Structure 1
Amino acid sequence: MAEETKKSASNKEAKSLAVPESATELKPKKESLASGAAGAPLGAVAAAAPTAAELLADENAGKKIVKAKGAKNISVGIAHILSTFNNTNVSITDMQGNVIGWSSAGRVGFKGSRKSTAFAAQQVAQDAARQAMSHGLREVEIRVSGPGSGRESAIRALQAIGLEISTIKDVTPVPHNGCRPRKKRRV
């Protein structure tokens, strides 16, 4: 009996010792956080935080252009940008008109009224350009159609991703008094 009580007492001591050890393990973390926030100079804390350029570099590093499995080795193509009031579509074709890559605001993940924004058009152009560049595309002619807000931002996105732009052409169809236009909006 005496041995059992000694064992149970030693178990209690071990348990009581285990709790302070875990508590002391937590204290240095709390102290280090407190000292970093109050005691350390701001330069040390700011140096640990990544800059915006580093974050963008990491973001772009994950999206490298890799040659597609059935790559067609096309160096020159045509980027067709259709920008309507509600959506933006970008199709990149070779010089004969065969589609190499395409994208739309819905495909990139935008829904509803967000599809008509300039930011959506930028994302659409980048997505289509990545697909085309995986087939070896380096230079494009741009043909813009439609009155939407994503025209300029799509062109800038194609240029920013690294495609060389040879010409920009506006091919918006203009009626010679054909179909009756839709009614005027009353705001």
Structure 2
Amino acid sequence: MGEQKVKTLAGDELKAIKEAGSGKKKSRKTTSGQIYISSSYNNTIITITDDKGNVLTWGSSGMVGFRGSKKSTPFAAQRTMEEMLKAMKGIGITEVDIFIKGIGTGRESAVRALNGSGIKVRMIQDRTPIPHGGVRKKKPRRV
């Protein structure tokens, strides 16, 4: 079809290209952050972000090793929070805001695991969506 152009790179240029796209993510160090606990009937997902909302790390009951109906238990949520606490210690987070969403069984046990860890909790906020209006009611039964 056409001519192929091949460019040869010198050693310095090649090294500069390799350094630019090293692929390894730099670990962020921060002292304060936010914890989002999303608890459903089937699973508990915990996300750790910095104060701007950028995700630092996250985990769920399934990632800790629970499968099936065991993911929705309070113990699974507690173990998930313990794993997230280990990750938070590596990042250097010492004080957090907590945002809870959902009506699952793991809500309170995740917060209790956090309270016993020594991390300062600045605020706890419940962001569970509450329907207003809702769905249409069922028609009355004719007998």
TM-score bin (small chain): 0.7 to 0.9
TM-score when normalising by structure 2: 0.73
Give, in whole Å, the separation in 2 of the partners of 1:140 and 1:121: 18
Give the structure with higher Rg (CA): 1
Pairwise CA distance, 1:160: 1.9
Query: 1:163 — aligned with what?
Result: 119
Pairwise CA distance, 1:133: 2.1
Secondary structure of 1:82's aligned partner:
strand
Pairwise CA distance, 1:179: 5.0
Query: 1:120 — aligned with what?
Result: 76
Secondary structure of 1:166's aligned partner:
strand
Pairwise CA distance, 1:144: 0.3
User: Structure 2 vs 1, CA of residues 180 and 83 (structure 1 numbering), >3 Å: closer, same or farther?
Assistant: farther
Does the Cα contact within 8 Å between 1:71 and 1:136 map onto a contact in 2? no
Secondary structure of 1:134's aligned partner:
helix
Seq. identity, %:
45
Give, in whole Å, the separation in 1 of the partners of 2:54 and 2:67: 28
TM-score when normalising by structure 1: 0.57
1:149 partner amino acid: T
User: Structure 2 vs 1, CA of residues 113 and 75 (structure 1 numbering), >3 Å: closer, same or farther?
Assistant: same
Computed over aligned residues only, the root mean square deviation of the Cα atoms, in angstroms, reads 1.8
Long gaps (5+) in structure 1: 1-68, 182-187
